[in-house]
Amino acid sequence: MSVTTTRTDLLTIEGLGHVYEGKQRHEAIGRLDFAVPEGAFVSIVGPSGCGKTTMLRCLSGLMSPTRGTVLLGGAPVIGVPRDLALVFQDYSRSLFPWRTVAGNIAFVLPRKQLSAAERKERIDESLDAVGLSAAADKYPWQLSGGMQQRVAIARALAYRPTILLMDEPFASVDAQTRAELEDLMLAVRQRFGMTILFVTHDIDESVYLADRVLVLSKSPSTIVASLEVNLPSPRDQVGTRELDDFVQLRSKIARMIRDQSTRRPSAPAIGDSESPS
Amino acid sequence: MTATDTSWGGVAQRPRRDFRRLREFAARWGALFALGVVWEIAARIADSIYFPPISRIMHRFVELWLSGPPNTLFLTEGVATDIVPSLTRMLGGWSIAVVLGVLLGVAIGRSRTLGDFVEPIIHFVRAIPPPALIPIFFILLGIGNEMRVSLIAFAVIWPVLLNTIDGVRSVETLHLDTGRVFEFDRRKVFFGIVLPSAAPKIFAGMRVSLSVALIVMVISEMVGRPDGIGSVILGAQRTFRMLDMWSGILLLGILGYVLNALLALVESRVTKWHRGAREGVS
Ligand SMILES: Nc1ncnc2c1ncn2[C@@H]1O[C@H](COP(=O)(O)OP(=O)(O)OP(=O)(O)O)[C@@H](O)[C@H]1O
Ligand SMILES: [Mg+2]
C-alpha cells in the first residue's frame, strides 16, 4: 500500500510557479516541487484561493506556468497530453448540455481508434462503474449535482487516461453523496489502475482517499508538508475514520493549515519529509 | 406573433401539459377570432370603401388564390404568378443571408482582432435602412429578381451575423477547455462545441431575419418590374381594388405567421436542450 521510492515517478514537477499578470498582479503559486509515482493516489489540500486550480491547469497543459517544468512520463508537458484527463471543479459547466449522458461520454472517445462496438462497451463500462447505467439517455440538466459529477467522472474514465487529475470534484455535493463518490474513486482506481492526483480542501477526504497528502500553504503557495498515509486497505467510511492513525494525521494537517496563517515555513525537499520544516 | 412559449416536442410530455397547450391554443385563436368579429362589425357600421368587412376580404382571398381546380390542390394560377415568386425570393435571400451570416459570424467571433476591425463597419452599414439602398441595387443589378434577392439578403444578414458573433463569443470556456483535455481537433471543436453553443442565438437571429425578409420582400416588389405580392397590393391600391389589396395584406400576415411557426418548430427540435437546461426539469 505504501508508496516506496523505488517506484517510478509518472509526474514530476520542478520549481513550478505561476504569476497572473495584469492590472492586479497576483502570484498564485510560489514554488512547487513534487513527484507523483505511477499508480499512486496523491491528494493535495490547501486553503481556498491558494492556487490549486491554477496548479492543475499548469499540470494538464491547459496553461503554461510562469516558472518551472512539468514532466509526464519523462516528457515535458506542452499542450494537453493524450494520457491525461482532468475533472473540472465546475463539472456542471464542463458537461455538454446538448448531449445526453451517453453522448457526452461517446464524444470524448476517439472515433478513429475505436469501433462502434468498442465505444459502446467503454460507455457502458464507465457508466456502470459510476452506477449511472440507467441515466444513459438523460441530459445532464435532468440530473442532480452528484449525478452530474459522476457523469464527468465516467467521461474521464471512458477516456482511459494513465493519470487523472481531479479538482475539488466533490465540493458541492451533500455528505452522503460525497462518501459514495469517495468510495467510488477508490473502486475505480482499483478497477482501472490509474494514477490519481486529487485536489480538495477537505482534510478528512484527503487522508481517507490517498497514499500521500501534500499540504499547500496560502497563496503564493508552497508545499508545507508531504505526508505518507499508512492506513489499511480497503478503506471504510466508518472504520478508517476511527483509526488512531487517521485521527492523528488529520489533526496534524489541520494544525499545519491553521498555523501557516501565522508563520510561513520554507518549502521542504521533495516527497521525503514526513513533518513540516 | 412569436411562438417561443409553445412546447413543440418537449422532453417529457404529460397530460397536464397537454391541457395547458389546449388552453393556450384556444386563447390564441380565440383572440384572433374576436379581432375578426370586431373588424367585421366595425366595417359594416362604417361602410367605408377603404375598409371592407373581413368576410368579403376572405371571400376575395379564396377567389384569388384558392379557387383552382382540384388537380392543383385548389390553388389558382394567381398562386404561381403572385405568391411563388415572392416566396422564392424571400426564402432565397434569407437563406443566402443565413449561410453567409453564420460563416462570417463564426470567423469574426472566433478572432478578436478581426472582430475589432470589422465590427464598427458592421454597425455602420447595418444602420442604413435597406429601402434607401434600392436605387443603388437598381443601378448595380437592374430591376429584376437579382436586385430583389440581394436586397433581401443584404437587409436580413445583420441579425444573423451579430447574433452568431455574440453566440460564438459566449461559448463556455470550460467547454473549450474540456475539448482540449480530450484532444478534440478543430472540426470537432467547431461542430461539437462552438456551433451547438451558439445555436440558440443563431436561431434567434434567424427569426428576426425572417420577419425582416418579409418586409423587404414587399418593399422590393413595390418598385421595378411588377411581380409578386408587393406589386399585387400596390397595383390594387392604385386601381381602387380594395378587396384585392386587403387580400394581399391578409396573405402577408398568414405567410409571416406560418413561416415563423415552421422555423420555431425546427428551432425547438434543434435546441431542445437549451430550454431544458435553462428551465431545469421538475
Ligand atoms: N485568470 C486569473 N487572473 C488573475 N488572478 C487569478 C486568475 N485565476 C485565479 N486567480 C487568482 O489566483 C489565486 C488562485 O486561484 P485558484 O483558482 O488557483 O485557487 P484555488 O486554490 O483553486 O481556490 P478554490 O479552492 O477556491 O478553488 C486566487 O487568489 C485567484 O484570485
Ligand atoms: Mg479551484
Confidence of residue A219 (pLDDT cuts 50, 70, 90): confident
Q: What is the 3-state secondary structure (H, E, C) of A47-105?
A: CCCCCHHHHHHHHCCCCCCCEEEEEECCEECCCCCCCEEEECCCHHHHCCCCCCHHHHH
Q: Which ligand is nearest to the CA of A46?
A: 1
CA of A219 to the centre of ligand 1 (A): 9
Confidence of residue A263 (pLDDT cuts 50, 70, 90): low
pLDDT tens digit string along B91-116?
Answer: 999 999 999 999 999 999 988 888 88
Query: Above 60 in pLDDT, residue A272?
Result: no
Last residue of some domain: A119, A138, A160?
A160
Last residue of some domain: A122, A145, A160?
A160
> Any alpha helices (H) in chain B, and if so which ranges?
15-46, 54-65, 77-78, 84-110, 112-126, 134-141, 145-169, 173-181, 186-189, 195-221, 229-238, 242-270, 272-279
Task: Domain of residue A152: give its range.
Answer: 84-160
Query: Above 90 in pLDDT, residue B6?
Result: no
Same domain, A190 and A210: yes
Ligand 1 atom closest to residue A20's alpha carbon, by position in its atom list: 4
CA distance B94 to A161: 47
pLDDT at residue B206 in the model: 95
Q: Say yes or no: A97 contacts chain B, CB-CB below 8 A.
A: yes
Decide if A162 contacts A10 (C-beta within 8 A).
yes
Q: Considering only CA atoms, which residue is closest to atom 28 of ligand 1?
A: A49
pLDDT at residue A138 in the model: 94
Which CATH number is A72's domain given?
Answer: 3.40.50.300
Residues, CB-to-ion distance under 5 Å, ligand 2: A 53, 89
CA distance B35 to A145: 49
B274 or A27, which is more confident: A27
Lowest mean pLDDT among A39-48, A217-226, B183-192, B273-282: B273-282
* For residues B225-248, average pLDDT: 89
Lowest mean pLDDT among A223-232, B37-46, B74-83, B88-97: B74-83
pTM of the model: 0.80
CA distances from B272 to A152, B202, B269 (A): 22, 14, 5
Find which of B173, B181, B186, B188 to mutate to test the A interface (most A CBs within 10 Å of its CB). Answer: B181
Which range of A204-208, A257-261, B278-282 scores highest in mean pLDDT? It is: A204-208
Is A88 close to B178, i.e. CB distance below 8 A?
yes
Same domain, A182 and A276: yes
pLDDT at residue A215 in the model: 94
Query: Above 50 in pLDDT, residue B8?
Result: no
pLDDT at residue B131 in the model: 83
Q: Say yes or no: A75 contacts chain B, CB-CB below 8 A.
A: no
Percent of chain B whose pLDDT exceeds 70: 94
B277 or B97, which is more confident: B97
User: What does the DSSP 8-state code read for residue A197?
Assistant: E
Decide if A36 contacts A197 (C-beta within 8 A).
yes
Decide if B165 contacts B109 (C-beta within 8 A).
yes
pLDDT at residue A5 in the model: 45
* For residues A162-185, average pLDDT: 87
Q: Which ligand is nearest to the CA of A200?
A: 1
CA distance A57 to A16: 12
pLDDT at residue B95 in the model: 97
CA distance A104 to A143: 13
* Residue among B277, B282, B280, B216 nearest B252 (CA): B216
Peptide bond into B70 cis (omega under 30): no
Q: Which of residues 243-272 of B touch A (CB under 8 A)?
A: 271
Q: Which amino acid is at A182?
A: E
pLDDT at residue B282 in the model: 40
Same domain, A104 and A142: yes
Q: Which amino acid is at B167?
A: G
Decide if B252 contacts B214 (C-beta within 8 A).
yes
- Alpha carbons within 13 A on the beta-carbon side of A23: 0
Peptide bond into A47 cis (omega under 30): no
CA of A217 to the centre of ligand 1 (A): 14
Ligand 1 atom closest to residue A50's alpha carbon, by position in its atom list: 21
Decide if B68 contacts B77 (C-beta within 8 A).
yes
Q: Say yes or no: A141 contacts chain B, CB-CB below 8 A.
A: yes
Q: Which residues of A touch B273 (CB under 8 A)?
A: 97-99, 139, 141
Q: Which helix or strand (DSSP H or E) is residue A214 part of?
A: strand A212-216
Same domain, A264 and A176: yes
Q: Say yes or no: A83 contacts chain B, CB-CB below 8 A.
A: no
Q: Say yes or no: B235 contacts chain A, CB-CB below 8 A.
A: no
pLDDT at residue B5 in the model: 44
C-alpha cell at B160: 444573423
Same domain, A54 and A15: yes
Query: Above 90 in pLDDT, residue B137?
Result: no
Cα dihedral: B222, B227, B228, B232 (round 10)? 70
A249 or A145, which is more confident: A249
CA distance A268 to A257: 15
C-alpha cell at A254: 489541520
Q: Cβ(A217) to ligand 1 under 6 A?
A: no
User: What does the DSSP 8-state code read for residue B216?
Assistant: H
- Alpha carbons within 13 A on the beta-carbon side of B173: 2
Same domain, A78 and A124: no
> Any alpha helices (H) in chain A, and if so which ranges?
52-59, 91-94, 101-107, 116-129, 145-158, 175-192, 203-209, 239-242, 244-259
**How many CB atoms within 10 Å of residue A163?**
23
Last residue of some domain: A137, A160, A183?
A160
**At which residue does the C-alpha cell 420555431 appear?**
B264
Same domain, A182 and A269: yes
Q: Which residues of A touch B193 (CB under 8 A)?
A: 96
CA distance B151 to A20: 49
Query: Looking at the 3D structure of chain A, how many domains does it have?
Result: 2
ipTM for the complex? 0.85
* For residues B133-150, average pLDDT: 85
Is A80 close to B181, i.e. CB distance below 8 A?
yes
Ligand 1 atom closest to residue A89's alpha carbon, by position in its atom list: 27
Lowest mean pLDDT among A77-86, B2-11, B107-116, B239-248: B2-11
* Residue among B227, B232, B186, B194 nearest B89 (CA): B227
B270 or B1, which is more confident: B270
Confidence of residue A33 (pLDDT cuts 50, 70, 90): very high
Same domain, A257 and A175: yes
Confidence of residue A275 (pLDDT cuts 50, 70, 90): very low
Ligand 1 atom closest to residue A55's alpha carbon, by position in its atom list: 18
Average per-residue pLDDT for chain B: 87
Q: Cβ(A53) to ligand 1 under 6 A?
A: yes
Handedness of CA A228, A233, A236, A242 (dihedral sign): negative
* For residues B228-232, average pLDDT: 89
Nearest to A141 among B193, B196, B276 (CB): B276
Task: Give the minimum alpha-carbon distance from A167 to chain B in angstroms, rounded to a whole number.
Answer: 13
Lowest mean pLDDT among A133-142, A234-243, B30-39, B130-139: B130-139
Task: Give the minimum alpha-carbon distance from A138 to chain B in angstroms, rounded to a whole number.
Answer: 10
Among A16, A19, A20, A62, the mutation site with the greatest number of ligand 1 atoms within 8 A of its Cβ is A20
Same domain, A256 and A186: yes
Same domain, A6 and A73: yes
Nearest to B280 among A82, A107, A141 (CB): A141
Task: Give the minimum alpha-carbon distance from B18 to chain A in angstroms, rounded to a whole number.
Answer: 21
Handedness of CA B122, B124, B130, B132 (dihedral sign): negative
Same domain, A179 and A256: yes
CA of A49 to the centre of ligand 1 (A): 5
Same domain, A275 and A168: yes
pLDDT at residue B9 in the model: 44
Is B277 close to A60, i.e. CB distance below 8 A?
no
Residue B51's SS3 state is: coil
pLDDT tens digit string along A105-145?
Answer: 999 998 888 888 999 999 998 898 888 999 999 999 999 88
Q: Which residues of A touch B196 (CB under 8 A)?
A: 96, 98
Decide if B201 contacts A127 (C-beta within 8 A).
no
Q: Which residues of B touch A80 (CB under 8 A)?
A: 180-181, 183
Nearest to B177 among A62, A79, A141 (CB): A62
Q: Which of residues 130-189 of B touch A (CB under 8 A)?
A: 172, 174-175, 177-178, 180-183
End-to-end CA distance of chain A: 26
Q: Say yes or no: A82 contacts chain B, CB-CB below 8 A.
A: yes
Query: Above 80 in pLDDT, residue B219?
Result: yes
Q: Say yes or no: A85 contacts chain B, CB-CB below 8 A.
A: yes
